[in-house]
């Protein structure tokens, strides 16, 4: 959420005690926005002029409460409505994710993300990018398909037997819905928020951005229909690079399971790597 690169350099070069001193000495200096700041701001903006909040953002940090004071001061400085937090003093905050009832966990610590995914939660490792965000006031979130919204069952066929076998399987199973992946429930939660608004006034817009192409597209369309989940845009790119399309969509964040796709996308939009499925083993 905030740019802690300078603080992390102190930790890397001088150790934990120097890091703690540095944070305390600078606790009245607000941290600059980080890569996820626009996403957080737009999520919180969904609560504007609502009788009850639609979303909550919870801060989870490996800082101690003492060094975390600078973070809360920065939250206040930037006017973010965040009141709940877990400061774990160097330990993983993983055990508190379910207790908070979170639908999505974002972190720079890949091991925490893997633990969250293994527990059945939507989670991603943030890949560094410019924190500019989309110019639109609308929250725009894009997803890859296989191993993100959907299971990796079809991806396993592709990895083991190639594109022709994958295409043949998807055409044959076009009317059989795909199993859900780690981000199915998060997409469902976004869809639920969208239903609180008129379709042309929804503050959230979603997109599926996948390397699939016809005829493998049909199974995806029928799966989302079977789930009764709305996806606003679907881009079937047939292996084309996703970055320029994500920039054209104006994604505030994009989730993909393949590291190469994430690194390419992160040059254009904030990106979360989902270390799940066969391509990450």
Please, are residues 203 and 45 in contact by the beta-carbon 8 Å criterion? yes
Strand partners, 206: 141
Cα–Cα distance between 272 and 143 in angstroms, integer? 10
Please, are residues 178 and 151 in contact by the beta-carbon 8 Å criterion? yes
Please, are residues 235 and 261 in contact by the beta-carbon 8 Å criterion? no
CA atoms within 13 A on the CB side of 259: 6
> What Cα–Cα distance (Å) separates residue 254 from each residue in 16, 30, 231, 239, 248?
33, 27, 14, 17, 13
Cα–Cα distance between 56 and 113 in angstroms, integer? 20
Q: DSSP characters for 159-222?
A: HHH-HHHHHHHHHHTTTSPPPB-TTHHHHHHHHHHHTTS-GGG-SEEEEEEES--TTTHHHHHH
Query: Could you tell me whether strands 233-236 and 253-256 are parallel, antiparallel, or unpaired per DSSP bridges?
Result: unpaired
User: Annotated catalytic residue: which of 3, 5, 144, 232?
Assistant: 144
In sequence order, what are the residues at sequence separation of 6 or more whose Cβ sits closer than 8 angstroms to the Cβ of residue 268? 129, 243, 244, 246, 247
144 classed as catalytic: yes
Q: What does the angle CA 98 – CA 99 – CA 101 come to, to the nearest 5 degrees?
A: 60
Q: Token match 């500019």: residue? A: 132
Please, are residues 10 and 25 in contact by the beta-carbon 8 Å criterion? no
Task: Please list the active-site residues.
Answer: 144
């Amino acid at each position: 959420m905030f740019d802690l690169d300078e603080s992390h350099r102190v930790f890397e070069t001088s150790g934990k005690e120097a890091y703690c001193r540095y944070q305390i000495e600078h606790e009245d200096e607000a941290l600059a926005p980080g890569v996820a700041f626009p996403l957080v701001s737009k999520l919180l903006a969904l609560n504007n002029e609502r009788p009850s909040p639609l979303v909550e953002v919870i801060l989870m940090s490996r800082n101690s409460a003492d060094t975390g004071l600078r973070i809360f001061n920065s939250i206040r400085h930037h006017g973010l409505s965040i009141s709940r937090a877990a400061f774990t003093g160097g330990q993983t905050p993983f055990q508190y994710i379910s207790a908070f009832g979170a639908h999505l966990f974002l972190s720079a610590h890949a091991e925490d993300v893997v633990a969250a995914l293994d527990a059945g939660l939507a989670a991603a490792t943030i890949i560094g990018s410019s924190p500019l965000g989309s110019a639109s006031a609308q929250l725009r979130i894009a997803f890859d398909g296989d191993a993100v919204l959907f299971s990796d069952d079809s991806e396993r066929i592709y990895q083991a037997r190639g594109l022709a076998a994958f295409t043949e399987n998807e055409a044959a199973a076009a009317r059989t819905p795909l199993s859900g992946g780690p981000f199915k429930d998060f997409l469902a939660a976004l869809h639920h928020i969208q239903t609180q608004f008129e379709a042309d006034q929804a503050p959230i817009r979603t997109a599926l951005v996948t390397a699939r192409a016809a005829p493998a597209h049909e199974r995806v369309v029928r799966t989302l229909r079977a789930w009764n989940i709305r996806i606003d845009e679907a881009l079937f790119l047939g292996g084309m690079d996703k970055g320029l399309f994500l920039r054209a969509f104006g994604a505030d964040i994009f989730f993909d399971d393949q590291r190469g796709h994430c690194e390419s996308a992160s040059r254009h939009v904030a990106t979360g790597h989902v270390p799940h499925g066969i391509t990450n083993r």
